[in-house]
Amino acid sequence: MAVTSNPPEKMMFQLNLRRRGISDQTVLRTMEEVPREAFVDAADREDAYRDSALGIACGQTISQPFVVAYMTEQLNVQRSNRVLEIGTGSGYQAAVLSRLCVDVVSIERYRTLADSARERLKTLGYNNVEVIVGDGFDVPDSAGTFDRIIVTAAMERIPEKLLERLEPGGVLIAPVGPHHGVQTLVRVVRTETGFEHRELVDVRFVPALPGIAREL
């Protein structure tokens, strides 16, 4: 897969992340190294580094760079972590996470998106990402537990079954709120006594829906 990018645009991309408060150098370096242009539709390649969400197949989106960087920074991923992503999309967030941890399991309800993301990640060498077609509201028991969980679609509430997948000390990030409106990014930490919730910033994500999508 041949990918190209405009150096001035990529420089502004980095400057914008820093200006908006992203300070984790590892996250910034990873955002620079992952070729965002490889994860957007061909018609949108010139806009790949613009700080806005872009449409992809199945009516879904690739999140704006700042949101990807912010959620990644707030997740505080460690090299030894095992990470679960709900909502693979084009695979961009999974690619970023893969450079920060030991492995990523990403669940996508649209088979079309899962298949194309799996192939894209393989082609680009992100070999520690496993893409699964499945229901993010009902993660299979065989998937095990995770140190970090990131949800990249809006949930009206975080399911208890998903919280139970967090290891002690684990962190979950999810946009919570109405499907058609503004959501709040929530950071949940599993402690010895339960779960600590903290609201971060307002965001807008496409809805997270239960089940596996029927595609025509």
Tokens at 167, concatenated:
């290891």
Check if the beta carbon of residue 79 is closer than 8 Å to that of residue 103: no
What gap in Å lies between CA 77 and CA 83, rounded to an integer? 8
Tokens 């079954």, residue?
A: 161
What gap in Å lies between CA 142 and CA 22, rounded to an integer? 35
For residue 15, count other CB atoms closer than 10 A to its CB: 10
Check if the beta carbon of residue 133 is closer than 8 Å to that of residue 109: yes
Tokens at 121, concatenated:
């990640």
Closest CA to 56 of 35, 37, 41, 38: 41
* Active-site residue, 63 included: yes
Options 23, 52, 63, 142, the catalytic residue? 63
For residue 24, count other CB atoms closer than 10 A to its CB: 16
**Strand 129-133 versus strand 103-108 pairing type:** parallel
Q: Which residues are catalytic?
A: 63
